Structure 1
Amino acid sequence: MASMADVARRANVAVSTVSYALNGTRPVAKATADRIHQAMEELGYRPNALARGLASRRSRNVALIFPMLERGLGLTEMEFVSAAAETAGDLGYHLVLWSTPLGDTDLLTKLTRQGLVDGVVIMEVHLADARIEMLRRTGVPFCMIGRTGDNRDDPFADIDFESTIRDAVAHLTALGHERIGFINHSRASFDAGYGPSVRAARAFEDAAGAHGISRFCDDSPTAGRQIWREMNAAAPGVTGLIVMNERASAGVLAAIAQHGARVPEDFSVLSVASSERVAEMTYPPLTTFHPPAAELGRLGVQVLIDRLEGREVPLVQQLIPCRLVLRDSTGPATRQPGTGN
């Protein structure tokens, strides 16, 4: 098995230089660092994480905070987590997943004080988020995947919900849909200030105006079926639907089919912030605004580790829109608004 000394000989540097390159305790020229990593690759050398942590007085662990008890970890969320874990590994860190409840800042404080991690990436961010206030107060390095209502000088990477919802409305309008419905997350999540729910609701109201109708929906297929029936009864002229609730989308499609209608011939259904795997599971496959989950997961970890390594980089506060992926659930409006035909 190759040792650090073997790497040093192959790269023609001192053993201490290899250590500095791995631990980040002293700056190493890029050309030298590249030579060291090439030697590691050629020799199959894998550094001992515990030894590196002891040398640098850091754990070389970063935590991804996701409150799974509130919403669970779906396929879309797994795209965030997988990309974050891969990026951490590429940068010489380990990613641990902490499922701390949203309001339990005491538990988060205890966990960060134990020195098990060097910093945290926060998901499911709310406009007024007690976790962020705690991290600011205690000085724990962090980056948000999401953003609060008052971001100050805090780094974040988030979906641009405003432009995504605006583009979703424009897509359905271009297909001839005169009235558009929006199915959001639950009323409880909106009232709690869950960032995506609040921002998307505001964006839909701005984009659709008097031609739009919105409903809150619990995150389940059963709730999706029920909310579509209620929406169709209250506003039978709605022929275009935007669903920003991945777990409810299959229920919406089922309710339309049970009503004797067809997608996309009678109703167009567009899913926002839903993974490709979920979109391909439904019938018909859902047209989606696909979230930049992998990009956000990578960026959140990269920004945090840049801070941990003391790199002088500009403050990152980046919004990334979702990408339209056309499938079979949207098409030209053919029903006459306000009728069953």
Structure 2
Amino acid sequence: MATMRDVARLAGVSVATVSFVVNDSKPVSPATRLRVESAMVELDFRRNAVARALASRRTRMIALLFPVLQHRLSDTAARFFTGAAEAASELGYTVVLWPEPSDPGALRELTSDGLIDGVILMEVRLDDHRVDRLLAARTPLTLIGRTRDPSGLDYVDVDFEGMVEQSIDRLQELGHREFVLVEEVEREGLDGYGPVVRVQETFHAVCDERGLRGRTLRCAPDPAGGRALAATLVAEAPEVTAILVLNDRAALGLVSELGKLGVSIPDELSVVLIGSTREVSEAADPALAVTLLPATELGRMGVETLVGRLDGTLGELRHELVKGPFLEGESLAPPPVANGRARLSG
């Protein structure tokens, strides 16, 4: 049975253009429309596609489930949504952002009334009740993230483990051996949140394996939390020469307040931001070294995976990790001891 991809290939256009012609949703030039319609006739696409839609009662709508009660709608989240929406449009689907409600019954309503063909879960926890409910409802789903045991599920995820190890590699090359990982304080609804757990476990495992000293400090996930942590860092961990920060908003407050306390970055302290954007890195002074979060790419991959499962074109389960590039920024230098400079002091 011919697909939109087949028509697009024969007509020499994008899948999105074929979708515009099929659904009459956007203007298409007469010449392009003629090529698409000719390809549809040659491939017998229209009759088969309509028959398949009527038989399956497909809406070609996908819900992107995001828990807004626990996570703010950041610029990074917007990049996930943008990538997902672009991929869906190219494949002839529509993505709807579904803010996860506090009422579990709302999830049942979403999947039982036939409004959506499948669900993409974001901000996945290690033990995620949403997965169990969707599987029980036989709703097709893909994860952007991983549960504790994702062996029977399709998922794409950030390679946080690889990003942490890459950051420690670079700092260790410069001579650093005393590290702090800055995480956000525990919040209700975020217990067992996959990225936080994996970053912490990887950080301590790598430090232990290499004979490095690593400890964890926590602060509120905002600039005020970062500013409050600065004094704690100076007072309680003066031996530290390198820090990895998991929350970008806290990082900006931390760097700003350290400057006010007279701590020079990178001369006295090197800083790496884990899983953020170039824009956040450059908002700090100095610009922070950062492992970039491949948000747009993962949004696209999530949709492509789910659509492949819905359309029957995806064979084996997809398990894929993506690691963003490492940008040096201006916050890296050898540790003060190596340079004969004073250690961290306020």
TM-score by length of 1: 0.84
Question: Cα gap change, 1:259/1:67 in structure 2, threshold over 3 Å: closer, same or farther?
Answer: same
Instruction: Measure the CA separation in 1 of the matches of 2:24 and 2:187.
Output: 42
For the aligned residue pairs, the C-alpha RMSD in angstroms reads 2.7
Aligned 8 A contact 1:189 1:197 in 2: no
Superposition deviation, residue 184 in structure 1: 1.5
Aligned 8 A contact 1:237 1:337 in 2: no
User: Deviations along 1:195-241, whole A, 9 cap, x unmatched?
Assistant: 00001010111112351111122210111111232122111111111
Tell me what 1:166 maps to: 165
- Whether 1:27 and 2:26 are equivalent positions in the alignment is no
User: Deviations along 1:45-89, whole A, 9 cap, x unmatched?
Assistant: 533279979646211111111112212111111111111111011
Instruction: Measure the CA separation in 2 of the matches of 1:161 and 1:104.
Output: 31
User: Deviations along 1:236-281, whole A, 9 cap, x unmatched?
Assistant: 1111110011111101101211111221122111101001121122
Give the 4+ runs in structure 1 shifted more than 4 A.
28-33, 39-45, 49-56, 335-339
Tell me what 2:23 maps to: 48
Instruction: Measure the CA separation in 1 of the matches of 2:126 and 2:14.
Output: 47
Aligned 8 A contact 2:286 2:331 in 1: yes
Tell me what 1:223 maps to: 225
Instruction: Measure the CA separation in 2 of the matches of 1:46 and 1:232.
Output: 63
Tell me what 2:96 maps to: 96
Superposition deviation, residue 189 in structure 1: 6.6
Aligned 8 A contact 1:159 1:320 in 2: yes
Aligned 8 A contact 2:62 2:119 in 1: yes
Unaligned runs of 5+ in 1: 1-25
Aligned 8 A contact 2:234 2:344 in 1: no
Tell me what 2:310 maps to: 308
- Whether 1:232 and 2:225 are equivalent positions in the alignment is no
Superposition deviation, residue 185 in structure 1: 2.8
Unaligned runs of 5+ in 2: 26-48
Question: Cα gap change, 1:325/1:212 in structure 2, threshold over 3 Å: closer, same or farther?
Answer: same
* 1:145-224 equivalence runs, <5 A: 145-188=144-187, 192-209=191-208, 211-224=213-226
Whichever residue aligns with residue 80 of structure 2, its letter is: F
Question: Cα gap change, 1:43/1:73 in structure 2, threshold over 3 Å: closer, same or farther?
Answer: closer
Q: Secondary structure at the match of 1:182?
A: strand
Deviates more, 1:138-147 or 1:161-170: 161-170
Question: Cα gap change, 1:256/1:45 in structure 2, threshold over 3 Å: closer, same or farther?
Answer: closer
Instruction: Measure the CA separation in 2 of the matches of 1:241 and 1:39.
Output: 46
- Number of matched residues? 315
Q: Secondary structure at the match of 1:277?
A: helix
Q: 2:292 aligns with which of 290, 301, 321?
A: 290
Deviates more, 1:148-157 or 1:309-318: 309-318
User: Deviations along 1:124-151, whole A, 9 cap, x unmatched?
Assistant: 0000000011111111011000000011
Question: Cα gap change, 1:337/1:84 in structure 2, threshold over 3 Å: closer, same or farther?
Answer: farther
- Whether 1:68 and 2:68 are equivalent positions in the alignment is yes
Question: Cα gap change, 1:43/1:232 in structure 2, threshold over 3 Å: closer, same or farther?
Answer: closer
